[in-house]
Copies of this chain bind each other. A is one copy, B any other.
Amino acid sequence: MSTYDTFTEDLKRIAALGSISGLLEWDEQVNLPPESADYRARQSSAMSELVHREATRSQVGEWLAELKEDTSLDLDQQLVVSEAGKEYDRLTKIPADFVSRKAELTSLAFHAWGKARADNDFASYAPYLERNLELAKEEASYLGCADDPYDYWIDRFDPGMDATSIQRIFKGLKDELVPLVRQILDSSIKANTDCMKDFPVDRQEAFLREVTERLGFNYRRGRIDRSLHPFCSGNAFDTRMTTRFFKDNPLDSLFSSIHETGHGLYEQGLPHEHIGTALGEAAGMAVHESQSRLWENQVARSPEFWKFWEPVYRETFDQQLSGVSSHDFYLAVNSVALNPIRVDSDEVTYNLHILLRFELEKALFEGSLAVSDLPEEWNRLSEQIVGLRPRNDSEGVLQDVHWSGAAFGYFPSYCLGNLLAAQLWYALLEQVPSVPEEMAKGNFSPVLDWLRTNVHQHGRRRFALELSKEVTGQDLSHVSLIRYLRERYLPLYSS
């Protein structure tokens, strides 16, 4: 075997080991008995330690050194080597004692955050957040990014992206989105979601199973289970999604399942033979999010989608929907309302929450904002950008888990994913004009086929910026998302 083949076999083996860590987490969220958490932590940490040791063997470094000089490698192979090298650098340059210190401190911060949120007491959490910020900067410094730690973190989640590019993109978005939201909210037409009551959970489950299967999720290599918060984990060989059910909020479960299905379809579409290498891995969080959002929003909130599914839905829930007109139902599916909580927000107002967080993260990293001033700045900017002032810090600066784990620079990916989804959507409609018509007949394979060809099969060959340029011919920007939101929401909310 060539060094390249030996090396990629080893990458795949390490990925298989890593996927076991993933399964431990899935099982923790889905199955773990309540008092088994301590032991699970022990299993997970023993496993992570082993995977880390395997991935940082000096043998790996030797292979990398040899392959970086190997001029016979083609472009794909060079990508595999350079991406693996980047990961190897990250794993070997960050000192082991920093890794365990960070794990310990973020675990403390996570618990402090939970308590602070419950008690509406930001001050008790502030020292932890300050330390997390320092940890994030320290980690960046090990990778030679002491001068631009925020860029380091953004690049971690979306390679090739940085704060300057995001600021430019978000500026355009903010200028158009803020007035659009006002326009929709000022409408006298209001969606009524209170009509959705008493939907039996077993029937919700059967319906979403039918929907997600028809969208293309391969249940022969995947499952859907229940957990407190929906997520998607695993890889193309065994993709595991979760959802949760509320009797009086059936759309939550349905749309979050379709969202996770979007993630799952991406994973299932990555080239199986390359899983564990850059050719078989997702191209960053924005691209991943573009996939979940495209299915959840562009597809599943469309009139064509519901043209096909509404009769099935009504048959499943005849009693519950008997007094609800088609128009009111479709309006409920596309309800828009300001919500102080990001994760409870609709697709129109959601992005405002991200603009807010990006401004704050940037200021924190630049040093122009002190952690102690964060709650007030959150509230001030929230009023300005989102359009409401949280009633308290629990509903404001304390609402998200991310910072408690020192995960900075992650929020922008959500919004970039929304932008990319809309951009991909219009490219798809242009290239395959029959998509709406096919969806109305319950045929979603033209959508999936196009995503497979243009996104999934490429692994990490194209990150968000290149992908956008190559597939849609346009730079990543706010233009398509604004167009999409206008086209979908203005007709609904114009009296």
Contacts and interface: CB of A to CB of B under 8 A. Distances in A.
Interface of A: 13, 16-17, 19-20, 23-24, 27, 31-36, 38-40, 42-43, 46-47, 50, 54, 218-223, 237-238
Contacts of A221: 33, 35-36
20 contacts: A16-B42, A16-B43, A17-B43, A17-B50, A19-B43, A20-B20, A20-B24, A20-B43, A20-B46, A23-B23, A23-B24, A23-B43, A32-B238, A33-B223, A34-B220, A35-B221, A38-B237, A40-B238, A50-B50, A50-B54
A216 to B, nearest CB: 15
A74 to B, nearest CB: 26
Contacts of A42: 16
Given A17-B50, A33-B223, 14 more contacts: A16-B43, A17-B43, A17-B46, A20-B43, A23-B24, A31-B223, A33-B220, A33-B221, A33-B238, A34-B220, A36-B221, A36-B237, A39-B237, A40-B238
A255 to B, nearest CB: 23
Sort A-B residue pairs by CB-CB distance and give the 10 closest, nearest first.
A39-B237, A36-B238, A35-B220, A16-B46, A35-B221, A16-B43, A33-B221, A34-B220, A16-B42, A13-B46
Contacts of A23: 23-24, 27, 43
A42 B80 CA distance: 21
A39 B220 contact: no
A20 B47 contact: yes
A35 to B, nearest CB: 4
A220 B33 CA distance: 5
Contacts of A220: 33-35
A222 B43 CA distance: 16
Nearest to A32: B238
Interface of A is mostly: helix
Contacts of A223: 31, 33
Contacts of A34: 220
Contacts of A27: 23, 27
Contacts of A24: 20, 23
Nearest to A234: B36
A315 B43 CA distance: 43
Contacts of A35: 218, 220-221
Contacts of A47: 17, 20
A52 to B, nearest CB: 12
Contacts of A39: 16, 237-238
Nearest to A47: B20
Contacts of A16: 39, 42-43, 46
A218 B36 CA distance: 11
Nearest to A220: B35
Contacts of A40: 238
Nearest to A23: B27
A244 to B, nearest CB: 18
A243 to B, nearest CB: 16
